[in-house]
Chains A and B, each alone.
Chain A
Amino acid sequence: MHRFANPARFLRIARAVQPWTAAATLIAFAFGLYYALVASPIDYLQRDTVRIMYVHVPAAWLALGAYATIAVASLVSIVWRHPLADVCARAAAPIGATFTAICLITGSFWGKPTWGTWWQWDARMTSVLVLLFVYLGYMALWSAFDDRQRAARAAAILALVGAINLPIIKFSVDWWNTLHQPASVFRSGGSTIHPAMLTPLLIMALAYLLFFVTTLLMRMRAELAAQRLEVAAERRALALEGAE
């Protein structure tokens, strides 16, 4: 555990690994887009619009995955006080929020030709909308404090409270949805996915995951550099005070 506690060591590893994950991301997207747009069948009912699923569903998966990352990092931060954990959590948040937004926007375009409206209050879209609000609140909390330590503590607590709450939110939204729209099942071509549709879905999911890792590394490096600058600025301010 403490082998990675040293930021310098993390930076060495991150700098070495990042070009590879970036390259892998591009390759995965190349394959994924080919399968999504060219080499996969259309849906019986939804025709070509089903192709939107390949950018929409992985976004939902990664939106949750990013939050899971934040939750685990927050737990590590609270229990072990590992300094990199806070850096990881803060770095992951904007990425998760972006995935959430992409999920909502692509979902809107997927739903319009099928349901006729730009927004559908089905269980998944509504849960993802609430998840977006949770992300925004989390990011706002980080920005609310000048003291980085305080911000990290508060954000970690909020992330864990949110993590406990998210399954409950999902459950309540599902409950609410069956109460008000008992007949609607928003799935593509039934409850099982055609195997030929699974390939592009999984490749795109992998591409999104690799993108998450690459961007997370970049944001963590930026965060650590910002911390170094803060420390240097403090040191300079103290030195000036001492000289007076």
Chain B
Amino acid sequence: MSGGVFTLVRRELQLVWAERGGGAIALIFFVIVASLFPFAVGPEPQVLLRIASGIIWVSALLACLLSLERLFQPDAEDGTLEQLVVSGQSLEAVAIAKLIAHWLTTALPLVMLTPITAAMLGAPVDLWGALLLGLVLGTPALSAIGAVAAALTVGVRRGGVLISLLVLPLAVPTLIFGVGVADPLAGASALRWLAATTLLALAVSPFAAAAGLRAAME
């Protein structure tokens, strides 16, 4: 089965690569949303410094939501999903592959842009490490939850808004622990709980997403 997932992931990456600018929208959105906050709360360094991790996390969360509506939709529409099932791929493998691809193409680039947004918001350099670690450990959970929401809502009109409504409450623990990694006192505790939350999300997501796809295909 791991061979199957690998091929599926490679296919996903090829599709995103062929799309050219599609993946960049999330990155641009991330930076724009992060830069809205200085306009909203004022440019004082002390204020921005205090809320920098929070701003980056919320912006990253919102940017990750953008590409979820198209996660399963194209393959469901043109029959690729059914073909994959007929050819012996399990829907769980498809879900895992989509999850990994989403993380590689949306979340990981975001994380790599974080030093830039962190610098913009005046976050001290010694915070960057904790911030990056939190994002790297936490964003897979966002992809996992997003994949479930996307699978449940395949084919729904204006599905993107519904996906956001479903994902955001479920993403609260990841958000809390992810930002908490940068906390001087509770950072270690946050890291542990963040890892646990992500592991649980990764464990449950493929099965829930596959069940959702099955319901969509019936």
Taking Cβ atoms with an 8 Å cutoff, the residues of A that contact B are 78, 130, 133-134, 136-137, 140-141, 144-145, 149-150, 153-154, 157-158, 160-162, 164-165, 168-169, 171-173, 175-176, 179
Could you say which residues of chain B place their CB within 8 Å of the CB of A153? 211-212, 214-215, 218
Could you say which residues of chain B place their CB within 8 Å of the CB of A176? 176, 180
Secondary structure of the B contact surface, majority rule: helix
A229 to chain B, nearest CB (A): 23
Please tell me if B200 contacts chain A, counting CB pairs below 8 Å: yes
Residues of B156-196 at the interface with A, using a CB-CB cut-off of 8 Å, are: 156, 159, 162, 165-166, 168-170, 172-173, 176-177, 180, 183, 185-186, 189-190, 193
Cβ contact of B153, chosen from A78, A134, A141, A171, cutoff 8 A: A141
- CB-based contact B152/A154 at 8 Å: yes
- 20 A-B pairs within 8 Å (CB atoms) are namely A78-B211, A130-B169, A133-B169, A136-B165, A153-B214, A157-B152, A157-B211, A158-B152, A160-B208, A161-B204, A161-B208, A164-B204, A168-B197, A168-B200, A169-B172, A172-B172, A172-B197, A175-B180, A176-B176, A179-B186
Secondary structure of the A contact surface, majority rule: helix
Could you say which residues of chain A place their CB within 8 Å of the CB of B208? 157, 160-161
Cβ contact of B215, chosen from A133, A150, A160, A168, cutoff 8 A: A150
- CB-based contact B172/A130 at 8 Å: yes
B212 to chain A, nearest CB (A): 6
Cβ contact of A158, chosen from B156, B166, B185, cutoff 8 A: B166
Q: How many A-B residue pairs have CB under 8 A?
A: 86
Please tell me if B216 contacts chain A, counting CB pairs below 8 Å: yes
Could you say which residues of chain A place their CB within 8 Å of the CB of B63? none
- CB-based contact B172/A173 at 8 Å: yes
Complex alpha-carbon distance, A21 and B76, angstroms: 47
Please tell me if B148 contacts chain A, counting CB pairs below 8 Å: yes
- CB-based contact A161/B170 at 8 Å: yes
Could you say which residues of chain A place their CB within 8 Å of the CB of B214? 153
Could you say which residues of chain B place their CB within 8 Å of the CB of A165? 170, 173
A89 to chain B, nearest CB (A): 15
Q: Which of B165, B173, B216, B218: most chain A CB closer than 10 A?
A: B173
Complex alpha-carbon distance, A165 and B208, angstroms: 13
- CB-based contact B211/A137 at 8 Å: no
Complex alpha-carbon distance, A140 and B204, angstroms: 22
- CB-based contact B153/A144 at 8 Å: yes
B208 to chain A, nearest CB (A): 5
Cβ contact of B152, chosen from A78, A133, A141, A172, cutoff 8 A: A141
With an 8 Å Cβ cutoff, the count of chain B residues facing the other chain is 32
- CB-based contact B215/A140 at 8 Å: no
Given A169-B169, A172-B177, are A157 and B204 also a contact pair (CB < 8 Å)? no
Complex alpha-carbon distance, A130 and B215, angstroms: 27
Could you say which residues of chain B place their CB within 8 Å of the CB of A169? 169-170, 172-173
Complex alpha-carbon distance, A145 and B155, angstroms: 9
Could you say which residues of chain B place their CB within 8 Å of the CB of A133? 165, 168-169
A240 to chain B, nearest CB (A): 26
Could you say which residues of chain A place their CB within 8 Å of the CB of B162? 137, 140-141, 144
B169 to chain A, nearest CB (A): 4
Cβ contact of B200, chosen from A134, A136, A141, A164, cutoff 8 A: A164
Could you say which residues of chain A place their CB within 8 Å of the CB of B159? 144
Complex alpha-carbon distance, A141 and B215, angstroms: 13
Complex alpha-carbon distance, A154 and B122, angstroms: 43
Could you say which residues of chain A place their CB within 8 Å of the CB of B170? 134, 161-162, 165, 169
- CB-based contact B168/A149 at 8 Å: no
Cβ-closest chain A residue relative to B183: A179
Could you say which residues of chain A place their CB within 8 Å of the CB of B211? 78, 153, 157
